[in-house]
Structure 1
Amino acid sequence: MTSTAQSDLLGAPAAGSAFRSERILMTIHTRPGLEMVPAYRQGKAASPGASKLSSNESPHPPLDSVIEAVTARLTQLHRYPNIGAETLRAAIADKNSVAAENIVLGAGSVEVASQLIHAVAGPDDEVMFAWRSFEAYPSLVRISGAIPVEVPLNTDAAHDLPAMLDAITAKTRLIFICNPNNPTGTVVDAAALDAFVDAVPRDVLVVIDEAYVHFDRSQVRADGLALFAKYPHVAVLHTFSKAYGLAGLRVGYAIAHPPVAENLRKVSLPFGVTDLAQTAAVASLQAEAELNVRINEVVQQRERMYAGLIAAGYPAVASEANFVWVSAGEHSAELDALLAAHKVVARTFPGEGVRISAGSAEDTDRVLAALAAAHAEVGA
């Protein structure tokens, strides 16, 4: 067959003209429903010298002990990671007083959330969560073929547990409770969540997503591990991306009862947690005293930023995470522009609000300077 004949067979232009692959790709079948799945939107990058407060990242560089541990493993990059990650799983199990068989790892808690959905929900099943909550939930659910059920937050920007109970149907398979909630930073009361979980049918998995639990200083938040120990239909999500500062290495985990954990391993990505990520996570668990100092610094900056926003008249929500949510509504774009003018990059949800991550003292200074400038302009 000549090259011209091959080109004609493929549907490409005749020889001598530019090859256009879209003429082939347009014939490829697209899975129904995929048009409803938006690509995950990462927090905006910051220009040099600006404060990147759009992704809830740690403002601190990795600990020296973590860098040393990771550096020592660089000579093993030609080898696959340990697929069972026994050392890391044992360390996590010891920290949380559970068995290693209860631990399932993934490339960040978002990947483990995907495992949970695929393990329990199929086409036309329902997965429920509060809204607004973690932005990836609806996309992960739709990718699995299941139906996302979004239950609006209450007037305090917190989970409306009675409404969520009312929304349970015969098709409900999984319920996410993001606690503290992203992006609002609110927490679910312990007694209220216990009563909620007790009322949920035992064939519905309740997942307590505690990505921001290390920053919580409240006395009321429900303890996911306590609920896991009490109820057979509870799983807990944790991550090393936030408090541990390993966002760039992608490692998270679920704590689940053995039947659920076994199914999570079946749907997990093989070798999904790299050797470097496993090494860094183990080293981080061994350095929690140092990390706690950093976490406390972030909490201090969160409180400082929240106080500044309230003093400036902005509708900020008291947060127990490493960010502050401002329910700016139709004025969200204005606040975003104000912050950007002062070299602060935040995460804006048009028409709803602005989430500002808690960073370093210098980062908070910039946020407060922006608020002061706006106040001075109004008073001029």
Structure 2
Amino acid sequence: MTAPGPRLRRALEGIPSYKPGRSATSATGRPTYKLSSNEYPFPPPPELVDAVRRAAETINRYPDLTSGRLVAKLSERLGVPTSHLAVGTGSVALLYHLLHAVCEPGDEVIYAWRSFEAYPVAAQVAGATRIEVPLTPDARLDLDAMAERVTDRTRAILVCTPNNPTGPVVHHDELAAFLARVPTDVLVLVDEAYLEFVRDPNAADALALYREHPNVCLLRTFSKAYCLANLRVGYAIAHEPVADALRACAPPFAVSSLAEEAALAALACEDVLLAAVERLVEERRRVAVALREYGFDVPATEANFVWLPLGDEAEVFAAACEAEGVIVRTFAGDGCRISIGEQKANDLVLEVAARWASSRGLSSRDHR
């Protein structure tokens, strides 16, 4: 008889798994493109590569426990005290630590759905009950409905803006009104992973709202616009009690010296990186306009991706894209998220979409 193994937490039973975007393969013998992860699609600037190479000379030493130089630079740029900043291995790791800091078994975490796939995982790992609030018909967060779901067991609310995977942004007046309704002992996490891609003048100024509300915490990352997805570095902005709790829950030496030096180099060459972001924003506009002309229902997007709510046909559309050498992100039975990449990759998606629309009579436009 086999002896029983270690007793695991019941909270982990039935936990959803996070599924990363699949990588493209070259099996077709032609160029392939990965548009299944919201990555910076261009090669990193030489300044970033040089910074990592220099930092690699010290890999035999532990990194700075507090990432002090990066924290000081962020404090200077954002106008917030260093005690209000905490860094971690990407904003998603900070999310996990924060939920561990505020949740006891049976507490509740509220978030929109569909939203970032890590939310249900992080909530359940923390032992919390997941409260999922449907999006509006135009794929936006329904903050009124989220506020109505608050109970005396609610410990955290996750607000993703722009929302991943659908793209719309939360407006400032919406978020301000929402915060006025939320009890001050409930932590509101505003996930701004795609902040640098936002061009909507009505988008929420979450940094200003954090200054007004001690229960607001912002999550930001160097993974998207700053080209450092592989090095895993993000930061949280929160008032001191929350930032202290986050640091208490985080493992020591989480952010490597390579990551810290690369983040500092990214801030130093920000003009180069953000010029590329502007190119992606223009491509986003071009792709979204074309898809709408073909008859697709594309929600307003302020991120580096577009969303196609294709329902049961999502996997069929993704397969059609893959046949042309492009991998997109599929959410079975719901839709496809298509990251904005190189122009050639975007053009291939549009070619597939044009044929798809024509075959289904979505639009009268000539797609030849």
TM interval, shorter chain, is: over 0.9
**Are the counterparts in 2 of residues 342 and 369 from structure 1 also a CA contact under 8 Å?**
no
RMSD: 1.4
- Give the 5 Å matches for 1:287-326: 287-326=269-308
Q: 1:215-254, CA deviations, whole angstroms, 9 ceiling, x for partnerless residues? A: 0111111011011111111110000000001000000110
Q: Distance in 2 between matches of 1:207 and 1:375?
A: 39
Find the residue that maps to 2:13 and give its secondary structure. helix
TM-score for the superposition, normalised by structure 2: 0.94
**Are the counterparts in 1 of residues 112 and 141 from structure 2 also a CA contact under 8 Å?**
yes
- Give the 5 Å matches for 1:91-110: 91-110=73-92
Find the residue that maps to 1:345 and give its secondary structure. strand
Aligned residue number for residue 19 of structure 2: 41
- Give the 5 Å matches for 1:1-380: 23=2, 27-48=5-26, 49-375=31-357
Q: Distance in 1 between matches of 2:74 and 2:322?
A: 39
Q: Distance in 2 between matches of 1:363 and 1:246?
A: 21
Find the residue that maps to 1:235 and give its secondary structure. strand
Q: Distance in 2 between matches of 1:141 and 1:43?
A: 21
Q: 1:184-205, CA deviations, whole angstroms, 9 ceiling, x for partnerless residues? A: 1001111111011011111011
Q: 1:279-318, CA deviations, whole angstroms, 9 ceiling, x for partnerless residues? A: 1001101111111101001111111111121122222112
TM-score for the superposition, normalised by structure 1: 0.91
One-letter amino acid of the structure 2 residue matched with residue 73 of structure 1? A
> Structure 1 vs Structure 2: percent identity of aligned residues?
44
Q: Distance in 1 between matches of 2:261 and 2:7?
A: 41
Structure ID, larger Rg:
1
One-letter amino acid of the structure 2 residue matched with residue 31 of structure 1? R
The alpha-carbon deviation at position 28 of structure 1 amounts to 3.0
**Higher mean C-alpha displacement, 29-38 vs 367-376:** 367-376
Q: Distance in 1 between matches of 2:149 and 2:359?
A: 47
The alpha-carbon deviation at position 375 of structure 1 amounts to 4.8
Find the residue that maps to 1:105 and give its secondary structure. strand
Q: Distance in 1 between matches of 2:357 and 2:210?
A: 48
One-letter amino acid of the structure 1 residue matched with residue 18 of structure 2? Y
**Are the counterparts in 2 of residues 304 and 364 from structure 1 also a CA contact under 8 Å?**
no
**Higher mean C-alpha displacement, 319-328 vs 336-345:** 336-345
**Which ranges in structure 1 are unaligned for 5 or more consecutive residues?**
1-10, 12-22
The alpha-carbon deviation at position 167 of structure 1 amounts to 0.1
**Which ranges in structure 2 are unaligned for 5 or more consecutive residues?**
362-367
Find the residue that maps to 1:37 and give its secondary structure. coil
Instruction: Give the count of matched residue pairs.
Output: 358
Q: Distance in 2 between matches of 1:232 and 1:374?
A: 49
Summarize the Cα distance change of 1:378–1:236 in structure 2 as closer, same or farther, 3 Å threshold: closer
**Are the counterparts in 1 of residues 189 and 216 from structure 2 also a CA contact under 8 Å?**
yes
Aligned residue number for residue 364 of structure 2: none
One-letter amino acid of the structure 2 residue matched with residue 350 of structure 1? A
One-letter amino acid of the structure 2 residue matched with residue 372 of structure 1? A
Q: Distance in 2 between matches of 1:120 and 1:374?
A: 47
**Are the counterparts in 1 of residues 109 and 156 from structure 2 also a CA contact under 8 Å?**
yes
Find the residue that maps to 2:109 and give its secondary structure. strand
Q: Distance in 2 between matches of 1:337 and 1:236?
A: 37
One-letter amino acid of the structure 1 residue matched with residue 179 of structure 2? V
One-letter amino acid of the structure 2 residue matched with residue 323 of structure 1? F
Find the residue that maps to 2:229 and give its secondary structure. coil
Runs of 4+ in 1 over 6 A off after TM superposition: none
**Are the counterparts in 1 of residues 16 and 120 from structure 2 also a CA contact under 8 Å?**
no
The alpha-carbon deviation at position 51 of structure 1 amounts to 1.0
One-letter amino acid of the structure 1 residue matched with residue 16 of structure 2? P
One-letter amino acid of the structure 1 residue matched with residue 152 of structure 2? A
The alpha-carbon deviation at position 376 of structure 1 amounts to 5.7
Q: Distance in 1 between matches of 2:201 and 2:287?
A: 21
Q: 1:38-97, CA deviations, whole angstroms, 9 ceiling, x for partnerless residues? A: 221110111132110001001011111111111111110111111111000011111211
**Are the counterparts in 1 of residues 171 and 202 from structure 2 also a CA contact under 8 Å?**
yes
